Structure 1
Amino acid sequence: MSPADPTLVHDRFGPRRGAVRATTWWGRAWVRAAEEAAYDERDAKQGRTIARSGKVGAIGVEPGAASAVVEDTTGAHAVRVGLEQLRAGDWEAFLDELAARAGHAAALLAGELPHELMEEVEAAGVEVLPYGSELECVCPCESWVQPCRHALAVIYQLGWWVDEDPFVLLHLRGRSRAEVLAGLNDRYDAREEVVVEDDDPDDRADPGIAEAVRDAAERARMLLGLAEHAPTGDGLADAAVAAYDVAAAALVSPVGR
């Protein structure tokens, strides 16, 4: 994904059996928004059925919207689900709170959305998690109400992605993973100054050494925060363990270093 192409395409889900329940608190919050958006339980039930059927194509997510093609007995329908982007000031407040504690950033990198972070952000007047009336849906089917069953199917599948990776939610709200991390790093750079004590004046004059020390200190700080959010217990989802392993590896051996 590049600035010229802000859309990130998430692969199509195959058919799933039985009820598919959110495993995280923020995933459940998304499902509540979907239920609030549905006109009635019949529409919600049909949306869940289509979502599990494997008839929803790959979902393209961009700032402010997601789109996918949904198939059913009436044909193929190009669905678009809109979600208002956060304003610039709201993003500043979110990033300030995210940078305030190393544990927040470490948890996000490990695939978690800390409840405490969301409480702090909401206290600052920023709503990241959606509510039902925020989800604006467009579908060319003949349904007289939106979201229709096709749009609800896309919303439910978006919830599966948000449950797995909260950066999907942040992307819908206006910032990609790379942009969020860049904003976080800007705050670290602005508030942290590393002084290198060395008898060699040439080393002290080399800004690369100070930068390396600063980077190592920051990664150590985030690793400590990450350890607080290590997956524990029986029956862990493979995705949770994999996300933690990837986050830890990235901090220990960052790409390009």
Structure 2
Amino acid sequence: MRTTYPRQAGRRGGARSWWGKAWQRAVEEAAFTESDLRAGRAVARRGEVGGISIGSGTVLAAVREGDDAWTVEVSVPELEDEQRRALVDVVAAATGRVAALLAGDLPHDLVEHAEEIGVELLPYGGELAATCTCPHALDPCPHALAVLAQTGWLVDADPLVLFAVRGLDRESLLADLHARTAPADLDGHASASAVDLADDVEVAADAVLRARRLVELLEAGADLPDGLL
């Protein structure tokens, strides 16, 4: 599944979250020269990157430069099937992790737990392979670095963007978590942990749907129903 995010307005300032800063460090590691990195950041801050399309293991975007437009493609290693299942297990291992992710927070212990079992969620510089249709001699060029920088803004605001880049988007994560609640114990009853997880997912998903509905109503200038507050 691929999700395209609207073009982001230019802005100044770095990442606010610890995982956003980790992505930012990876972008810095990926740059060949400091001048390319500065140029890429300037392009990002001017808002010259178009809508960013996030897919499993890929990031696509166009970047303006005067009258020209260049296409940037970034490749990030996807999780293998076994790693994906292990990551879902990690998310389900502690109460509140699902709700935290859907609320825009990435628990540090979740990432540490995943790393302990061999699942690297946060990328390092060498994993961010980027190409651009511009004639720049080296990859990543400033256009690619600008796309990486703005992708970091998306990751900073929503850590599930990071999951999606690794091959586990929001819908797939929730589906896999729901699937974990299906098995029953020998008496035919769902286990206590499964019930807790199901409740956690249901509450978190409901909160996200309510938030989306509130945003839609606010943007439309409509009155807010008491039931959504």
SS in 1 for 2:27: helix
Residue 24 of structure 1 is matched in structure 2 by 17
Does residue 72 in structure 1 map to residue 65 in structure 2?
yes
Distance 1:20 1:247, change over 3 A: farther
Map 1:156-167 onto structure 2 (within 5 A): 156-167=149-160
State the alpha-carbon separation in 1 of the partners of residues 100 and 120 from structure 2. 19
Instruction: Give the RMSD, CA atoms, in angstroms.
Output: 2.8
Distance in 2 of aligned mates of 1:186 and 1:102 = 17
The alpha-carbon distance between structure 1 residues 42 and 185, as it changes in their structure 2 partners (threshold 3 A), is same
Which one-letter code corresponds to 2:21 in the other structure?
R
Which of 208, 212, 228 is the aligned partner of 1:246?
208
2:96, 2:200 within 8 Å by CA — same for their partners in 1? no
SS in 1 for 2:105: coil
Residue 4 of structure 2, aligned match among 3, 9, 31: 9
TM-score by length of 1: 0.74
Tell me the distance in 2 between the aligned counterparts of 1:14 and 1:101.
36
Instruction: Tell me what 1:236 maps to.
Output: none
Instruction: For structure 2, list consecutive stretches of 5 or more residues without a partner in the other structure.
Output: 213-229
> Is 2:102 the counterpart of 1:109?
yes
Secondary structure of 2:61's counterpart equals strand
What amino acid does structure 1 have at the position aligned with 2:70?
A: H
Between the aligned partners of 1:119 and 1:83, the Cα distance in structure 2 is: 20
- The letter for the 2-side match of 1:172 is V
Partner of 2:179: 186
Cα separation, partners in 2 of 1:113 and 1:217, compared to 1, 3 Å: closer
1:99 is matched with: 92
1:218 CA displacement: 3.5
Bigger Rg, which one = 1
**Deviation of residue 73 (structure 1)?**
3.5
Match of 1:130 in 2: 123
Q: 2-side partners of 1:193 and 1:158: how far apart?
A: 46
**Matched-pair contact (CA < 8 Å) for 1:99–1:188:** no
The answer to whether the aligner puts 1:174 opposite 2:136 as a matched pair is no
1:191 positional shift: 5.9
Please tell me whether the aligned partners of residues 102 and 221 of structure 1 are also in contact (alpha carbons under 8 angstroms): no
Q: Return closer, same or farther for 1:33/1:216 CA change in 2, 3 Å cut-off.
A: closer
How much identity, in percent, do the aligned residues show? 41
Give the aligned length. Answer: 209
**Does structure 1 conserve the Cα–Cα contact (< 8 Å) formed by 2:15 and 2:21?**
yes
Matches within 5 A, 1:217-256: 218-219=198-199, 246=208
The answer to whether structure 1 residue 35 and structure 2 residue 28 are counterparts is yes
Relative to structure 1, the CA distance from residue 65 to residue 220 in structure 2 (aligned partners, 3 Å threshold; closer, same or farther) is closer
Structure 1 position 40, deviation (Å): 1.5
Q: 1:96-133, CA deviations, whole angstroms, 9 ceiling, x for partnerless residues? A: 11111122112112111110000000000110110001
TM-score norm. by structure 2 comes to 0.82
The SS at the match of 1:101 is coil
Match of 1:55 among 38, 48, 63: 48
Q: Which amino acid aligns with 1:107?
A: A
Structure 1 194/170 Cα, relative in aligned 2: closer, same or farther at 3 Å? farther
1:123-148, Cα deviation, whole Å (9 max, x unpaired):
00110110001011111112111100
Partner of residue 83, structure 1: 76
Cα shift readout 1:205-233 (whole Å, capped 9, x = no counterpart): xxxxx9xxx8798426975xx7xxxxxxx
Q: What is residue 143 of structure 2 aligned with on the other side?
A: 150
CA gap of 1:62–1:111, structure 2 versus 1, over 3 A, is same
Deviation of the 1:192 alpha carbon: 7.0
